[in-house]
Each structure stands twice: as structure tokens, then as C-alpha cells.
Amino acid sequence: MACIFCKIIAKEIPAEILFENDSAIAILDVNPIHYGHALVIPKNHHKDFLEVPENELPGMMHAVHVVARAIVKSFDLRGFNFFSNNGTVAGQSVFHFHIHITPRYPDDNIRFVLQLKRYEGEEMKDVAAKIRASIQE
């Protein structure tokens, strides 16, 4: 078993565990954006969000809710981010799905550098139609 998060879940390597339920475990990230930066990780190995079965999602989101509330309380925060990197192109480095929760502070200068696009003509309608046509429930 090469996966670092599977090893943490199996308690084969140490981590600062914050919370656990049937579906997920929450730990402190070892390289935090800010102190308190946490990771919520499904107990079963899934490489990314799309691989997580639907029945594990409520437990995952429950853990995100519980841990985010605790982080906000602990550091008296005015805001936080939660996010997930899926795929190398999106910055994923550990290929066992996880959701980051990180404190935010005024003027902490953390931002995506964005060059926002504009839809022209019918493009926005076309893009929405394309995605709607791909939706499978």
C-alpha cells in the first residue's frame, strides 16, 4: 500500500487526527497555508472526487462542516476556504481524494491569479447546453 493517506487511515504513520466518522477522517495538513489548515479524507481510497461513491459524500461533508466550524471557533476566524484539487493539472499531489479547509485572514495575500474571460454572443448558452447534455444522474 503506497498511498500516504491510506497509511494514515490505517494508523501506520502518525498524523494529528481532528475528527473521524464512518466515512471520513480529518487531519492537520503538515504543510499548512495557515496553522489549522486541515484535510478531510474519505476512509476508502478513491483517487479523486468523481470516484467517491455517492453514499460516502454525506459523511465527507458532515466532517467538513464539523471541522470548519471548529477551526473558525478555535482561531476566531472571519472566514475560511474549503477546496479540492482534482488531477495534476489542478494541482493535486496526493491521489487519494481530500478536501482542504484553511483559515483566512485579512490581507493574507493568498489569491488565485485569475485572468477572467468573457462569453461572447451565444457562447454562454452553448456552454450551458453542452454541460446540460452531459449530465447523468
Q: Does 93 bind ligand AMP (CB under 6 A)?
A: yes
Q: Toward ligand AMP, which CB reaches closer, 108 or 123?
A: 108
From Zn ion, ligand AMP, none, interface partner of 3 (C-beta below 5 to 8 A by class): Zn ion
Q: Toward ligand AMP, which CB reaches closer, 113 or 116?
A: 113
From Zn ion, ligand AMP, none, interface partner of 70 (C-beta below 5 to 8 A by class): none
Among 29, 38, 60, 97, binds ligand AMP (CB under 6 A): 29
Cα–Cα distance between 22 and 43 in angstroms, integer? 8
Burial annotation 57-74 (CB, 10 A radius, 16+ → b, else e): eebbebbbebbbebbbee
Q: Which residues contact 118 (CB under 8 A, 6 or more apart)?
A: none
**Amino acid letter for position 120:** E
Supply the minimum distance, in Å, between the C-beta of residue 124 and ligand AMP.
Answer: 30
Which residue(s) pair with 100 in the sheet?
Answer: 39, 83
The counts of H helices and E strands in the chain are 3, 5
Q: Does 85 bind ligand AMP (CB under 6 A)?
A: yes
The DSSP call for residue 26 is E
Q: Toward Zn ion, which CB reaches closer, 80 or 95?
A: 95
Q: Which residues of this chain interact with ligand AMP, rule CB under 6 A?
A: 4, 15, 27, 29-31, 39, 85, 91-94
Which residues are annotated as catalytic?
Answer: 98
